Each structure stands twice: as C-alpha cells, then as structure tokens.
Amino acid sequence: MLKIKVEKNYRGLLKYRWIVYALVVSVYFFVYFHRVAPAVMGQAFMKEWSLSGTTLGIMSSLYFLFYAAVQIPSGIFTDFIGPKKLIILSAMSIVVGSFLSYIAPTFTVLAIGRALIGAGAGLTFVPLAKILRYWFRRREFATMIGLNTSIGNVGAIFASAPLVAFMVLVGWRNIFLYISIIILFLVVMIIKFVEDSPEKKGFPPIEQQEVNIAYKIDLKTTIAQGISIWLKNPTIFLLAIIIAICYGTLMGFEGLWAGPFLANVYKMNNATIGNFLLITAVGMVIGQVSAGYLSDKVFKGKRKTPIVIGTILYAMNWMLFLIVITSKQNLLLLKLLFFTFAITNSIATVPILGLVADLSPKNIYGTVAGIFNMSPFIGSTIFQGIMGNILDKSKPIIENGIKIFPIRGYLWAFTFCMVAASLAVFLSIFIKEPTSVNIAK
C-alpha cells in the first residue's frame, strides 16, 4: 500500500512541476522583453532626449551592468534563503523599474528604471535554474534550460514587431505600465503555488535514487563551497569567457544596434525593423530548445562537441554577415543571417549552461551559477558600450535630431564582433568536461 502511495505521489509530482515551472518562467518572459526592447524603443529615446550613440549604448547597457552586478548575491541567496523568495524579489524590482520608466520625466529617471529592471532580471535566472534542478531530472536539465530560454525569447519576439505595433497604439510609456500590472499578478500566483523543491509540497524527490540532503546550509559554508568549485575547475573560467563573447556580441547586435543599423544603412522603417528582429527572436526560440535537445539526447550529455561546433558556426555567421552588408544587397540572405545568428549562438551557449550544472553540486548550484552568470552580462555591457563608441567615432550626421551612423561605422563594430567570436572558437578547443562518474550530484 505504501509503494502505491509513493508511486501516486510521484505521478502527481510529474504533473505539478509544470505549474511551478509555468509561473516562474512567465517572469522570465519579461526579462527577455526588457533585454532587447531598446532596439525598437531606441529611436524614440534618442528623439525625446537628443541622445548620442554612446549615451544610448550606456543607458541600454545599464540593464546588463546591474544584471551582472547582482549575480553573485543572487547565487548565494538562492542557496541560503531559497529560490522562491528571490524570484518574488526579482519580480518586484522589475515592477518598480517598469513603473519608473512609465512615469520618467527625465532621461535620468528612465536610466534608473532601466537599472532596476536589470537588477530584477538578474535575480531571476539563477533561482529559476535551481528550481529546475530540484523539480526536473539531470538528463532533462539542458533541455529545460533551452526551453526556459526559448520562452524568454518569446518575450524578445514581443519586443520586436509586436512592440512596434503596440507603440503605435498606446505609446512606449503605457507599455511599461501594463508590464508592471501583469508582473504583480504573477507575484501573487507564485506566492500561492510555487515551492523551492518537491519535498516542500509533499512530493518525493524527482531523482528517486538520490539521498534527500538538507536543503539549507549556513551562509559562510554556502559561499566557501561555491567558490571552491570555481577554484577546482578551471574549465568554468574558460566557459565564462566563451559565453561572455558569444552572448555579449549577440546582445550588442540584437539587443541594441541592429535596429539603428537597419534604419541607417537600409533606410528601413520601424515596422520593417521589427520584422527583422522578430526573425532573430524566433530563431532563438527554435535554437534554444533544439540546442538543449541536442546536448541532452543527441550528444548524450556530452557538452564540449556542441560548444565547439556552435562557436565555429557562430563565427562563420559573422563573417558571412559582413560580406552581405558590404554589398548592401540580397535582403533575403540578410534575413536568413538574422535567423542563423540565433541558431548558431544557441548551439554554442546552451550546452555551456548544462556543463556548469554538471560541475556543480545541487545544494550550492545557485552560488556557482550566480558567479558564472555574471559573465554573459558583463560581456553584453562591454560589447554594447564598445560598439556605441566605435559608431560615435565614424563621423555620424544628425537628421531630425537623431544621429545617423555611416556604414563604415557598422562595419568596424561588426568586425570587432567577428574577431571576438573567432577567439571563442579557439578557447572552446581547451574545454574539459567531467566523466559520468565525476558529475556533481
């Protein structure tokens, strides 16, 4: 009779975990929306406050700067107080930042709102990933990370063509207000239905054979053990550099400068720009799920091979992109490259997150992941800022209060990204992954 009850509880766990996942990943949807929205809203910001390319780049990069800044405390407190409380805190920070963006009487207030959104977004990924580690099996982890990022990228889809349409209907300020209201509703639902682990809802552990270890450890031990994992595994440092390059270059492009590039070089209007960004966002949705499946199923949990393949393809994508835009022809091929930017980047980055999880024990995974998750957003901050600086040095002209950058500026900026992506290929060759017996439990 006891065995039947346990089996029934386990079946209930397999169903209930999707409720938990749906609620927390809904917050992550808005993390990605805010991440890339400046590519569409950037022209409006530049016109309203007469911004330079460097100023807009710095404002947009505040999201990534504050995202990176909270990663270490995010990881530590995910392990110490539990992921549920941290996700609630992250959501409320996004609410406040969005509301400040809505009322913003000055550019400074808008920048403060952007910083709060970035900090809140930065507190989201690590606790969500830890919830995945407790509510899903190890062999499902990369797939779920891919699905998680894909759903986030649905947010990026809404920050492309649909965002252009909504801006026409209600204006960019009201969009921030509506986001605040929706996230507040999600907070209420998370408080009611989400728990840190299956055991806290009366379910058995998701891995039936695992020992039910104590969930919390003291703060000092959490930090010490998390740092020790980094010191014992130089591979994690290597992975951090690779993902900083791959994600930083993509966010420098998709997250900010793709919109002005299409407007300045190809003379596209906002609706057409939104459609191009939509193509990249759809590519991210498909690429993230596919990359997770490839890593878990096709390569059977081996992470190095897809990382190497992905970085090679991503660097080649930049090379082809430079060739196409130099000729300023063949928009169909340009659209294809916008799509494959996302696919190749996903193949490179999703297995990296899976490998970090393989190297990290569950009880301190948040701390390890928090430290690691600084790297892609430090990369994004660096690349958005440097690309803006390169563009400012290309002798732009001003039309109707908006800076118009020449094609040579974009060629310099994108060549910088291509060289960086080539470095990621070289570094990926030196990755060492654990054997199955050494994978952290």
Residues 142-198: tens digit of each pLDDT? 788 888 888 887 887 888 778 888 888 988 889 999 999 999 999 999 999 999 888
Average pLDDT value over all residues in the chain: 85
Q: With 70 as the cut, is the pLDDT of residue 50 above it?
A: yes
* Strand duo 397-399 + 402-404: pairing: antiparallel
CA angle centred on 177, ends 176 and 180, rounded to 5°? 90
More confident residue, 235 or 226: 235
What's the mean pLDDT in 204-221? 57
CA distance 256 to 40: 8
Contact 97, 203 (CB under 8 A): no
More confident residue, 10 or 319: 319
Chain segment 367-391, per-residue pLDDT in tens: 787 788 888 878 988 998 899 899 9
List of residues 6+ apart from 201 with CB closer than 8 A: 13, 16, 195
In this predicted structure, what is the pLDDT of residue 381? 82
What's the mean pLDDT in 281-295? 85
Nearest to 229 by CA among 74, 360, 75, 133: 360
Q: Could you state, in order of their start, the residue ranges of all structural domains in the chain?
A: 21-195+215-438
What's the mean pLDDT in 282-293? 86
Q: With 60 as the cut, is the pLDDT of residue 216 above it?
A: no
Q: Is the dihedral of CA 164, 165, 169, 173 positive or negative?
A: negative
> To 10 degrees, the CA torsion angle through 99, 94, 184, 43?
50
- 21-195+215-438 CATH, one of 1.10.10.410, 2.40.30.170, 1.10.150.130, 1.20.1250.20: 1.20.1250.20
**Secondary-structure percent of the chain, ordered helix, strand, coil, rounded to 5:** 80, 0, 15
In this predicted structure, what is the pLDDT of residue 248? 94
**pTM (two decimals):** 0.72
Burial class (CB in 10 A: 0-12, 13-18, 19+), 399: exposed
- Encoding tokens for residue 115? 């910083």
Q: With 60 as the cut, is the pLDDT of residue 2 above it?
A: no
Chain segment 93-136, per-residue pLDDT in tens: 999 999 998 998 888 899 999 999 999 998 998 899 889 888 88
What's the mean pLDDT in 69-86? 87
Contact 251, 35 (CB under 8 A): yes
